[in-house]
Amino acid sequence: MTNGSHTLGIDFGTSNSAVGYLSDGKPHLIEIESGSQTLPTSIFFDFETRGTSFGSVANRALIEGAYGRFMRALKSVLGTGLMHEKRQIMQQRMDFTDIIAMFLREIKTRAEAASGLRFESALSGRPVHFHSHAPERDAQAEADLRSCYLKAGFKDVRFMYEPEAAALANHGHMQPGCLGLIVDIGGGTSDFTLFRQGSEAVPEIIASHGVRIGGTDFDRVLSVDHVMPLFGRGSLLNKEFGQGTVLAPNGMFQALATWEKIPFLYTAESRREARELEKYATDPHLFSRLVGVLENELGHDVAFAVERGKIEANGAGAKTEIDLGVVERGLSADLTEAGMHRSLDSLTGKIQHCAEELMLEAKIKPDQVDSLIFVGGSSLMGSVSGRLRQLFPTAAPHQTSAFTAVVEGLALAAGEGP
């Protein structure tokens, strides 16, 4: 390992993470797992081996049915009450500060091993708003993330808005004076940065804005609308006393459809509640599936199935299926591209409204924008890009580095080491 400390640019994402640093004036992205410059933001605690795995290995452990606890969408709990709740994991009392720090420490260790450099400082991306319209929670989320970095072994950490980092990496294809808009739709948030291309290497940032809506929210809505009815959502329960029926409560289905809340359903109380629903259901078979998902801890398997179905339906133009064979042989939920658009309409409308608010703040009309630059995996969803292309009809669309633009910009901003 070389002498001196460098700054590591870290795109700690809800779904995937990436790291890079500046070398000879250019961003260098580190192969953070074998054959890939991105790492799924996932952790698996193996209860049999007492080991911990990360990224694709963690995802594979879950899919192959290893006995343990899987966690994903860790970034979503920052600034929430869940962040500091202690949980028993492999004979240790841990909260999400400990868990996120473990993931960041693994990133640091891998980056140093791959590069031969020492990284004591971090330049971390962050959304414009961790939490929409909640300044106190927003500030708490950054404070939480800072604590995680320090616990992971970094001596100091700075933060940069993710869409502004993407603007730094993407301004090169534009002519001086042109206006560009970064559309950064990630797993947890949607962020926008409006910038003007200057004659210098650094773009002029005009304004940034964001909303707490992202790909995991798309997954949640699609799961609630298309999968949870197969587990009893929207069905009837016989009243415990007297005649008549009532609608099944919705809370458990919402939690089961939400990535970061799934691990908290694997409790005796939740399983008991599901069995009670099955007992009084007019269609007990639906709730027997719910009981099976909780008892066999299949919530994340269902969530991955929804995510795969979402990707397959995007631009398919025909009916696809969400394969739920992991729950019951032959079980699936129909999903068409049109049905997906209908389910996501409210969320994509809010994303569009956020972009409109940004333009009002900047006092610039949409038809003045020359370039529309899509970054983040969820920006590739037709439900999102279609709305925004209509809003900015004269802007040329670009998707050249959708998955790496943020970390490239962070590496550029991090600067050279000593």
Q: pLDDT for 313-353, tens place per residue? A: 887 677 789 999 999 999 999 998 889 999 999 999 999 99
Q: What is the pLDDT of residue 329?
A: 96
pLDDT of residue 416: 64
Would you tell me the crossing angle of helices 215-222 and 299-313 to the nearest 10 degrees?
100
Q: What is the per-residue pLDDT for 4?
A: 64
* 214 closest CA partner among 47, 69, 13, 48: 13
Strand partners, 411: none
CB atoms within 10 A of CB 180: 25
pLDDT at 187 (0 to 100): 93
Q: What are the phi and psi torsion angles at 380 (to 5°)?
A: -85, -5
Complete domains list, the chain, with CATH: 5-163+406-414 (3.30.420.40), 175-214+347-399 (3.30.420.40), 216-341 (no CATH)
Give the pLDDT of residue 25. 87
Helix (H, G, I), strand (E, B) or coil at 160: strand
CA-nearest of 6, 5, 11 to 410 is: 11
What pLDDT shows up at residue 172?
Answer: 72
User: CB-based burial of residue 276 (10 Å sphere; 0-12 exposed, 13-18 middle, 19+ buried)?
Assistant: middle
Q: Alpha carbon 78 to chain centroid distance?
A: 12
Residues with Cβ within 8 Å of 321's Cβ and at least 6 positions away in sequence, in order, are: 309, 332, 333, 334, 335
What is the mean pLDDT, run by run of 10 residues, along the chain of 418 residues?
A: 77 96 93 94 94 96 91 93 87 92 98 96 97 93 97 97 94 84 95 89 91 96 98 94 89 96 93 96 96 96 95 81 96 92 96 97 96 91 92 91 90 79
